[in-house]
């Protein structure tokens, strides 16, 4: 009598284990954060700066409050993604030496990422307005993944850089980086200098 309940119990345990799908178990890969990226809707920046462009309505325009910031420096802030595109504007004043110095400073700022960057790719873009821009894509664990520079060579100079206020690794942020990069391209293609 003792053998029968043990055999029954053993059979039930084997049957319960066999009905489980653990035979087909596949370990799950390490998870990445999920980002809901809405279809962008763009609106025109208020005409309070020497430049104007369209930006994504999920972003907020904030003044740059750093100690050395200038009046026309702003952040295009994406609160849902803890990201911002910092825009720094400077007048050229028809001074080629001033323009050259601003360009050198911009390229120095981008090259500071060489230590952590696995790749830096720069390309020249011809914008819809006829202006040109330099777009710099940085790969690796860098603080700024996308930067740009554009100027009309005589009056206006604008530099932008994407930053995240999070410790999440950049490979996990790739969908958001690419989403905001498209917004940056839209900004550049709708950029107009104001008189």
- 8 compared with 178, residue with greater pLDDT: 178
In the chain, the domains with their CATH numbers are 42-193 (3.40.1000)
**pLDDT score at 142:** 85
Q: Please report, rounded to a whole number, the percentage of residues in the chain having pLDDT higher than 70.
A: 79
pLDDT mean over 15-41: 67
Mean pLDDT of the chain: 87
pLDDT mean over 123-135: 94
**Cα–Cα distance for residue pair 180/183, rounded to 1 Å:** 5
**pLDDT score at 163:** 95
pLDDT mean over 148-169: 91
pLDDT mean over 124-146: 91
**pLDDT score at 139:** 87
82-113 residue pLDDT tens: 999 999 999 999 999 999 999 999 989 887 76
**pLDDT score at 120:** 84
**Token output for 122:** 């720069």
pLDDT mean over 70-81: 96
Q: Are 60 and 50 in contact (CB under 8 A)?
A: no
């Amino acid at each position: 009598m003792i053998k029968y309940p043990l055999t029954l119990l053993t059979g039930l345990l084997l049957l319960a284990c066999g009905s489980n799908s653990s035979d087909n178990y596949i370990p799950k890969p390490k998870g990445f954060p999920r980002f809901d990226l809405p279809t962008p809707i763009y609106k025109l920046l208020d005409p309070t700066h020497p430049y104007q462009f369209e930006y994504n309505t999920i972003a907020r325009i904030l003044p740059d409050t750093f100690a050395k910031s200038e009046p026309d420096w702003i952040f295009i802030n994406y609160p849902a993604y803890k990201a911002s595109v910092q825009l720094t504007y400077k007048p050229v004043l028809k001074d080629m030496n001033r323009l050259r110095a601003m360009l050198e400073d911009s390229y120095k700022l981008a090259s500071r990422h060489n230590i952590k960057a696995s790749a830096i790719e720069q390309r020249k873009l011809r914008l819809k307005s006829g202006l040109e821009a330099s777009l710099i894509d940085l790969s690796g664990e860098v603080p700024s993944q996308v930067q740009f520079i554009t100027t009309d060579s005589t009056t206006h100079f604008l530099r932008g850089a994407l930053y995240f206020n999070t410790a999440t690794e950049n490979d996990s942020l790739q969908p958001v980086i690419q989403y905001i990069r498209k917004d940056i391209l839209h900004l550049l293609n709708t950029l107009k200098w104001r008189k």
